[in-house]
C-alpha cells in the first residue's frame, strides 16, 4: 500500500494537533509529582524535627532532675 502526500499531510496535522495536548498532560504529571515529592520531603523534615524535639525534651528533663537533686542535697 502506497501512502500519498495527502495521507502524510493528514497524519502530520493530527500529530501537530496532539502535541500541545500531550505536553500539557506531561506538565500536569510533573506538577503532581513535584507536589508529591515536596509533601514527602516535608514529612521527612517533620520527622527529623519531631525526633530532635523529643531528644531536647529528654535532655531538659535530665537536666532538671539533676538540678533538683543538687537542690535537695544543698
Tens digits of per-residue pLDDT, 33-65? 888 888 888 999 899 999 999 999 998 888 888
- Model pTM? 0.43
**Residue indicated by cell numbers 515529592:** 37
The residue behind cell 498532560 is 25
Q: How many domains does the chain have?
A: 1
Tell me the C-alpha distance between 58 and 24, whole Å.
51
Distance in angstroms (rounded) separating the CA atoms of residues 61 and 38: 34
Which three three-digit cell numbers place residue 12? 502530520
C-alpha cell at 35: 507536589
Q: Please, which pLDDT band fits residue 74 given cuts at 50, 70 and 90?
A: low
Of 47, 50, 9, the C-alpha closest to 39 is 47
Its domain, for residue 21, covers 1-74
Amino acid at each position: 500500500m502506497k501512502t500519498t502526500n495527502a495521507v502524510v499531510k493528514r497524519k502530520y496535522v493530527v500529530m501537530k494537533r496532539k502535541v500541545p495536548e500531550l505536553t500539557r498532560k506531561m506538565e500536569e504529571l510533573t506538577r503532581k509529582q513535584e507536589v508529591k515529592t515536596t509533601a514527602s520531603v516535608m514529612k521527612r523534615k517533620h520527622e527529623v524535627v519531631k525526633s530532635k524535639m523529643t531528644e531536647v525534651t529528654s535532655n531538659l528533663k535530665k537536666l532538671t532532675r539533676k538540678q533538683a537533686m543538687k537542690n535537695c542535697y544543698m
